[in-house]
Amino acid sequence: MKLVYPVVLYPSGIPGGYTVLCPDMPGLVTEGRNLAEALDMAQDAASGWVLGELEDGHHEPHASNIADIKPDIPDGIVTLISLDMDAYAEKYGKKSVRKNVTIPAWLDAFGQQQGINYSQVLREGLEDRYRSLQNV
């Protein structure tokens, strides 16, 4: 899942540095020593914020229209950041949920004989299906 959000960059106390806020993510504040680092930090912080919401069973926040975002001071910069949530979740996602499934008894006997880890097989199958649908 790819997401795009507006952010506002403000000059920080560090010469050349910026503080970044994302209006659609309450409490998200980060900064960088220069513009490039500030944007990288914003992307990482926003991805973590969204992943936390998703892992808690919530939806990702709605992105505001960039035209509606106005900086509080004249030196503020409004721009967009792009989040690759699939890559971020694959690298940093940790929360798992338990699901019960029903399978035929003969298939369970086969799985036990083969020493198959049902959770692993289900996860791999769902991840493959997810990736194939993302490439459509």
pLDDT tens figures, 17-26: 999 999 999 9
Same domain, 41 and 63: yes
pLDDT at res. 100:
75
Q: Do residue 8 and residue 72 come from a single domain?
A: yes
Tell me, yes or no, whether 41 lies in a domain. yes
Q: What is the pLDDT of residue 136?
A: 62
Residue 99 lies in a domain: no
The encoded tokens of residue 90 equal 């694959």
CB-based contact 8:21 (threshold 8 Å): yes
Asked whether 83 and 50 are in contact (CB, 8 A), the reply is: yes
Q: Which domain holds residue 27?
A: 2-92
Q: Which of 106, 82, 74, 117 is nearest to 7 (CA)?
A: 82
**117 domain residue, yes or no:** yes
Q: Which of 2-6, 16-20, 81-85, 99-103 has the lowest mean pLDDT?
A: 99-103
Q: What is the pTM of this model?
A: 0.71
pLDDT value at residue 20: 96
Quick one: pLDDT at residue 96? 63
**Is 98 part of any domain?**
no
Output the pLDDT for position 93. 79
CATH of the domain at 31: 3.30.160.250
Residue 118 confidence (pLDDT) above 90 = no
Question: How does pLDDT run across 62-93, given as a tens digit for each residue?
Answer: 999 999 999 999 999 999 999 999 888 888 87
Rounded to whole angstroms, the Cα distance separating 1 from 134 reads 8
- If one counts the domains in the chain, the total is 2
Residues 6+ apart with CB under 8 A from 125: none
Do 109 and 88 lie in a common domain?
Answer: no
Q: Give the pLDDT band of residue 98 (cuts 50, 70, 90).
A: low
